[in-house]
């Protein structure tokens, strides 16, 4: 896929998971990337700079910094973090950035939402993204794409799950027979880059993306093989999850009732992107040993 190297693409969340993956894929394709981060001197920002990105300071809560970052951009990748910002603030950030991007003359806008956001799930951090999607569609961008990934494989190597997994337990509030669609962040980067590289083809679409689908006992078995030690699945009572996060509990309950519905095979065939299977992802991770006591 050819890229017009004169088209500057601004990536928000460039030192985070989705933004970082999209930025690296675009840079590898020869795109002109401007990476926005609150901390331009951080190791991840400096790494992107070495790869050829222009790194700029910007904060999704600071309109003036966004206006500076958007200046001269042909394209923009928008992602916000619910778990950091909270549901209401994430929605404000998403709408603010989209409106400023349109005002700045951005031609092609890619918004990172979540699969099934358009289905009125009742999950707070899904429904707020649906409202941001509505804003993006209403602004009249010459071209836009809504990208909708499922549950990240990387969640399992995050502080939420990793300590338990290190101790040999995959504890999550799902029944043993519930299948969960997942995607690697690396695949999100590939689909995100394609949303810019094939922008005219994807214009106006909501693109649902996933890579694999497993039950939690199957996930535990794969983790056991990848780590070389036993990992057991333990179903957490949903009320225990709710004490930690009502939003996360609502999502798990929806996984049981309905669940994600991305067509992995069809999306792969259309895009030419081979989905990363969970076993492949798990075997690529350097799983740390349990902390000694």
Q: What is the pLDDT of residue 35?
A: 98
Q: What is the pLDDT of residue 291?
A: 66
Neighbours of 236 (CB within 10 A): 16
Whether residue 123 contacts residue 254, with contact meaning beta carbons closer than 8 Å, is answered with yes
Q: What SS3 class is residue 144?
A: strand
φ, ψ of residue 176 in degrees (nearest 5): -65, -25
Q: What SS3 class is residue 214?
A: strand
Q: What is the pLDDT of residue 288?
A: 82
pLDDT digits (tens, 9 = 90+) for 176-189: 999 999 999 999 99
Whether residue 152 contacts residue 79, with contact meaning beta carbons closer than 8 Å, is answered with no
Q: What SS3 class is residue 237?
A: coil
What structural domains does the chain harbor? 8-149+185-209 (3.40.50.720)
Write out the two tokens for 159.
């502080």
Whether residue 32 contacts residue 72, with contact meaning beta carbons closer than 8 Å, is answered with no
CB neighbour list of residue 108: distance below 8 Å, 6 or more residues apart: 74, 75, 76, 141, 142, 143, 144, 145, 196, 199
How far apart are the C-alpha atoms of 146 and 158, rounded to whole Å? Answer: 25
Q: Which residues pair with 93 in a beta bridge?
A: none
CA-based radius of gyration for the chain: 19
Counts for the chain of helices (H) and strands (E), in that order: 14, 12
Nearest C-alpha neighbor of 127 from the set 84, 88, 168, 70 = 88
CB neighbour list of residue 269: distance below 8 Å, 6 or more residues apart: none
Q: What is the pLDDT of residue 4?
A: 76
Neighbours of 79 (CB within 10 A): 26
Q: What is the pLDDT of residue 3?
A: 66
For 192-231, give one letter per residue: b (16+ CB within 10 A) or e.
Answer: bbbbbbebeebeeebbbbbbbbbbbebbbbbbbebbeeeb
Whether residue 34 contacts residue 51, with contact meaning beta carbons closer than 8 Å, is answered with no
Residues of the chain with pLDDT under 50: none
How far apart are the C-alpha atoms of 216 and 210, rounded to whole Å? Answer: 17
């Amino acid at each position: 896929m050819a890229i017009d190297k004169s088209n500057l693409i601004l990536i928000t969340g460039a030192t985070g998971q989705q933004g970082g993956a999209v930025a690296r894929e675009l840079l590898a394709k020869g795109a002109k990337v401007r990476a926005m981060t609150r901390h331009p001197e951080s190791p991840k920002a400096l790494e992107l700079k070495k790869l050829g990105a222009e790194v700029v300071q910007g904060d999704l809560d600071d309109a003036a910094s966004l206006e500076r970052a958007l200046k001269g951009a042909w394209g923009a990748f928008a992602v916000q973090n619910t778990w950091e910002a909270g549901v209401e603030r994430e929605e404000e950030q998403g709408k603010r950035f989209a409106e400023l991007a349109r005002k700045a003359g951005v031609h092609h806008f890619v918004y990172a939402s979540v699969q099934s956001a358009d289905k009125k799930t009742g999950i707070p951090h899904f429904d707020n993204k649906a409202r941001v999607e509505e804003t993006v569609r209403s602004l009249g961008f010459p071209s836009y794409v809504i990208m909708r990934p499922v549950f990240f494989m990387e969640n399992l190597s995050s502080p939420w799950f990793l300590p338990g997994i290190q101790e040999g337990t995959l504890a999550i509030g799902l029944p043993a027979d519930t299948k969960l669609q997942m995607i690697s962040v690396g695949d999100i980067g590939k689909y995100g880059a394609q949303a810019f590289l094939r922008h005219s083809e994807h214009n106006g679409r909501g693109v649902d993306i996933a890579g694999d689908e497993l039950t939690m006992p199957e996930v535990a078995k794969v983790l056991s093989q990848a780590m070389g030690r036993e990992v057991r699945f333990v179903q957490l009572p949903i009320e225990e999850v709710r004490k930690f996060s009502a939003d996360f509990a609502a999502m798990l309950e929806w996984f049981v009732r309905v669940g994600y519905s991305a067509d992995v095979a069809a999306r792969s065939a259309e895009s030419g992107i081979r989905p990363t299977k969970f076993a492949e992802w798990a075997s690529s991770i350097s799983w740390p040993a349990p902390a000694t006591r």
